[in-house]
Amino acid sequence: MKDAIDIGYRHFDSAMIYGNEHEVGAAVRAKIADGTVKREDLFITNKVNRKYDYRSSSLFVSVGRS
């Protein structure tokens, strides 16, 4: 992830089922902290598994991981 940001990638896709939410979030935070990018320069998508009730806390759990 960090290398992808370094070479210019700005769109990142994550999902609970991919198991990459934490890694995406950590890399984005690190690259913002070191001044490589600003949050507004990144497009980050996340998907919530349909088996979860979207009105429940599952959505917030997924977002919190990224």
Residue numbers annotated as active site: 18
What angle (nearest 5°) sits at the alpha carbon of residue 5, between those of residues 28 and 33?
40
Q: At what angle do helices 58-65 and 21-33 cross, to 10 degrees?
A: 50
Please, which residues bridge with residue 46 across strands? Answer: 14
